[in-house]
Structure 1
Amino acid sequence: MNPSVAPAASSLRVMSYNIHHGNPPSKPELIDLEAIVNTIRKQTPDLVALQEVDVHTERSGAFNQAEEIARRLNMHYFFGKAIDHQGGEYGVALLSKYPLSETVVHRLPSKAETKGEPRVLATAKVTLPDGTTLRFGSTHLDAQRDSVNRELQIREIVRIASGEPLPFLLAGDFNATPGTGVIHLLDQAFTRTCQNCAPTIPVLKPTKAIDFIAYRHPAGKFSVASHRVIPETYASDHLPVVAQIQIRK
């Protein structure tokens, strides 16, 4: 793969998208990865955090969804496995127009008695054409009604981020809305690209914002130029989120 060389960026277009393993909710038996690819392509992002990504599973087929989406978009990628699933793997992924290095899958904690599905934070170092470097992460927090695991998981993400010297962009499905303890903990360490955030689920008549992009940076490195929820209602059960982030040189 030879991703195209993009011009030096004074801003980054960042997208977060829970892709529901490429399954349109209106067609339970169908995998329509092209609908996901087209949704991403229309937004021309520099960086994309994906959640609910299949690799070689029975339900999706014998291929790596992260790799295939990246190939069709001519982007770099990194897949972070959360669990083994249906003969393959399932987790989160990063897509980038720019080179990725120092890729890591951080296992996130949960209380054993809850029997929560294992969750991860996948991160990579991104090097922009002008030599600027940053850390980019994708995560998908616990979905149980009780927030105990989500709070443990966001605390661990904050701990990881607090030891990171690079500017940190974090995106994902937090399964928590603004005003909850989980998002309060996120907001103590990161700045979300929206404050009065438009809802992202369900895709038809959405009522809850649970998908966010956030950043942590030294001395005003980042600022938000725009934040949008994209009204794409076919491809997934979540609406994608896109933010334009300015980078101070």
Structure 2
Amino acid sequence: PEGCATAGPRRAGPLRVMSLNMLHGFPRFEHLGDRLDLIAGEIKRQDADIVCLQEVPWRPGLGNAARYLAEETGLNYVYVRANGNRWTILFQEGEAILSRYPLRDPGFAELMPRAGFFEHRVVLAATAATPWGDIRVFVTHLTNGEPAINRAQATSLMSFVETSGGGPAIVAGDFNAKEDSPQIQALAGRWVDTYRAAHPADVGYTCCVDDLTGRSAASLDERIDYLFLVPGEGLTTRVVDSRRILDQPVQMGQGWQWASDHVGLLSTIEIEPK
């Protein structure tokens, strides 16, 4: 909610935006407590201004993980449920935006078509009132099913974003599509793929860790998570840097722990009035 942030004033410098598919882990919620601590710690360590999260779980005893992370980091948050129902199966998951700045005008849309009757893919949106002006933020998680449905959902996402105002925007999430797919090529043709802008030749794998308590990153072999910058009216934007984060396990107790089966992204964006 707007106005719940307790984080201190931001340091000088460009906007810092983070994105992560945090792995809900239903029904066992593997190592969720430790992983939440790693994610909260990374948000604070990176001094992120805006955080886009996918697969954000609700579970008994914890409640909404978005609220937990917001309280741990002192950020505002908005959340939308995508799948599950905590009242009937004691679980749900969805998307969340955390922000150092006030969040206004939250909204969401279901991306069509559905890949299955019980599978819902949504985009969550909110306006971050930053020191440079309003920036629209979108977070989503597209289907990992039929490629044609994924492509159609990406088209639905593009339409939703581009009819939501003329200012600059951030679009981040797990797109479940490789960089050479038609849908990612189409999005990258209209928006700025921040990681690719900073690393033209790097593979940039973001998925997927096959052992959350293992030391090896060898199973990371796909780039399916993206953080796009949408240029807009009134402000000039430029990608200063973008890098993978949470891309190694951390030693906890007697073993090793990954924050998620996905690697996160942190993009630094310079914003100036035109």
Aligned match of 1:126 in 117, 125, 128?
A: 128
1:186 Cα deviation from its structure 2 partner? 1.3
Matched, 1:158 2:124: no
Matched, 1:200 2:206: yes
User: 2:5, 2:100 within 8 Å by CA — same for their partners in 1?
Assistant: no
Please give the TM-score of this superposition, normalised by the length of structure 1. Answer: 0.88
User: 1:110, 1:116 within 8 Å by CA — same for their partners in 2?
Assistant: no
1:241–1:44 CA distance, 2 compared to 1 (3 A): same
1:67–1:28 CA distance, 2 compared to 1 (3 A): closer
Matched, 1:41 2:56: no
1:21 Cα deviation from its structure 2 partner? 2.2
Q: Which amino acid aligns with 1:223?
A: R
- Corresponding residue for 2:243? 228
- Corresponding residue for 1:66? 66
User: 1:8, 1:129 within 8 Å by CA — same for their partners in 2?
Assistant: no
- Corresponding residue for 1:175? 176
- Corresponding residue for 1:247? 271
- Map residues 143-154 of structure 1 onto 2, 5 A cutoff: 143-144=144-145, 146-154=146-154
1:190 Cα deviation from its structure 2 partner? 1.3
Q: How many residues align?
A: 241
- Corresponding residue for 1:80? 80
Further displaced range: 95-104 or 226-235: 226-235
- Corresponding residue for 1:101? 104
Q: Which amino acid aligns with 1:3?
A: T
- Corresponding residue for 2:189? 188
Give SS of 2:195's match.
coil
Give SS of 1:194's match.
helix
User: 1:110, 1:118 within 8 Å by CA — same for their partners in 2?
Assistant: no
Please give the TM-score of this superposition, normalised by the length of structure 2. Answer: 0.80
1:7 Cα deviation from its structure 2 partner? 4.1
Alpha-carbon separation, structure 1, partners of 2:271 and 2:13:
5
Alpha-carbon separation, structure 2, partners of 1:22 and 1:73:
22
Alpha-carbon separation, structure 2, partners of 1:228 and 1:29:
25
Tell me, which stretches of 5 or more residues in structure 2 are unaligned?
210-216, 250-257
1:139–1:45 CA distance, 2 compared to 1 (3 A): same
1:39 Cα deviation from its structure 2 partner? 2.4
